[in-house]
Structures are given as structure tokens and as C-alpha cells.
């Protein structure tokens, strides 16, 4: 967790403020420990996006009253949402349930991450944050449509 919040981090930082006061209010409604974890995930999402060519700037907005991150300009990826799970000490990154993203994450990180169905990665406020795994998963989500647009090796060799 400290690496996510390390002030000496060289990757591009997320916006310090919020362009949409409703997004800030969505973060502010949570208890301090959950809010800190959600802010750390926000930073990880922006830093990951900044390090991937073709993703472009992220749009931060609310979807289903949850802070959401979209690749509106490039349309390179699938939306990522953040929220607390009910009144628990758990929080999650949510992904579009009609993609294969969570199934892919489950194959890649069967023991490092916990999942809920085909829509989220579930984390607990008291557990260490698996930054490397989360950054990889976020990167896959932010480039989901780029991968889907590429012709497969099989179709490019046909003929």
C-alpha cells in the first residue's frame, strides 16, 4: 500500500482535485479506512493508464453512484468502477459483467486475488493490497477493446 501512496512515485499522478463534485462526494461518504483504499485504487488506475500507450486520458465520472473510469476519448477499454461492498470492511473494483475480464483475472491470479462472480475483484481493508496484480488487471481492462479489435493470428495467416 505504501508504494501506491509513495510521494516519490515517478508515474504520472492522478488529478489532485475532482472535476465533478459528485465523484468527490461518492468518495467522502465512506469511512476513513475504506476511503483511503479507494483513493489508492484511484491513483493506481490513473498511473496504470498513464503508462499504457493508446489508452489516453481517463474520464472520471459516476455510474450507478460509483466512481467510474472510462477511456472515452480512445474507447480502448472497459469501464472500471470502485465502491465499498455494503456496510462491510470490503471494497471492490467492478468490471462489465458481459466481458471475460474477471474470468481472465481469475485464471491469472487464482490465489492472489478474490472475486465475486464475473464482475469484481474483492479486497479487504485489513489485507495488503496486491498492487502488481491489480495494476495488471486494470491495464487489461483499460485495453480490453484494443485487444478485441486486433485480428487473431489464425485469421491473419489464412489464405
CATH, residue 66: 3.90.1150
53 domain-assigned:
yes
Residue 97 CA to residue 102 CA, distance in Å, equals 8
pTM for this predicted structure? 0.84
Q: Give pLDDT tens digits for 91-116.
A: 999 999 999 999 999 999 999 999 99
122 domain-assigned:
yes
**Percentage of residues in the chain having pLDDT higher than 70:** 83
Look up the domain containing 66 and give its range. Answer: 34-148
Domain total in the chain: 1
E strand spans, 64-155? 66-70, 80-84, 90-95, 114-116, 120-124
Q: Give pLDDT tens digits for 1-52.
A: 433 433 323 334 566 788 899 999 999 999 999 999 999 999 999 999 999 9
- Grid cell 489516453 is found at 56
Q: Can you read off the three cell numbers belonging to residue 80?
A: 472500471
Question: What separation in angstroms does the CA of 31 have from each of 5, 6, 27, 37, 84?
Answer: 18, 22, 9, 10, 10
- Confidence label for 121 from pLDDT (cuts 50, 70 and 90): very high
- Grid cell 484494443 is found at 146
CB-CB contact of 79 with 68 (8 Å): yes
Residue 101 CA to residue 116 CA, distance in Å, equals 12
Q: Cβ–Cβ contacts within 10 Å for residue 98, how many? A: 9
22 domain-assigned:
no
48 domain-assigned:
yes
23 domain-assigned:
no
What SS3 state is found at 130?
coil
39 domain-assigned:
yes
Residue 22, C-beta contacts closer than 8 angstroms, at least 6 positions apart: 62
- Using the predicted structure, report yes or no on whether residue 151 has a pLDDT greater than 90: no
Amino acid at each position: 500500500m505504501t508504494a501506491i501512496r509513495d510521494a516519490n512515485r515517478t508515474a504520472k499522478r492522478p488529478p489532485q482535485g475532482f472535476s465533478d463534485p459528485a465523484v468527490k462526494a461518492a468518495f467522502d461518504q465512506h469511512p476513513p479506512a475504506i476511503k483511503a483504499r479507494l483513493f489508492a485504487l484511484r491513483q493506481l488506475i490513473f498511473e496504470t493508464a498513464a503508462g499504457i500507450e493508446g489508452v489516453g486520458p481517463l474520464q472520471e465520472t459516476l455510474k450507478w453512484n460509483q466512481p467510474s473510469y472510462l477511456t472515452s476519448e480512445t474507447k480502448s477499454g472497459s469501464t472500471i468502477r470502485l465502491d465499498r461492498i455494503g456496510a462491510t470492511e470490503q471494497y471492490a473494483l467492478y468490471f462489465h459483467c458481459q466481458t471475460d475480464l474477471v474470468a481472465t483475472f481469475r485464471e491469472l491470479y487464482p490465489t492472489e486475488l478474490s472475486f465475486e462472480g464475473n464482475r469484481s475483484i474483492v479486497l479487504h481493508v485489513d489485507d495488503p493490497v496486491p498492487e502488481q496484480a491489480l495494476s495488471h488487471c486494470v491495464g487489461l481492462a483499460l485495453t480490453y477493446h484494443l485487444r478485441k479489435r486486433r485480428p487473431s493470428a489464425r485469421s491473419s495467416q489464412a489464405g
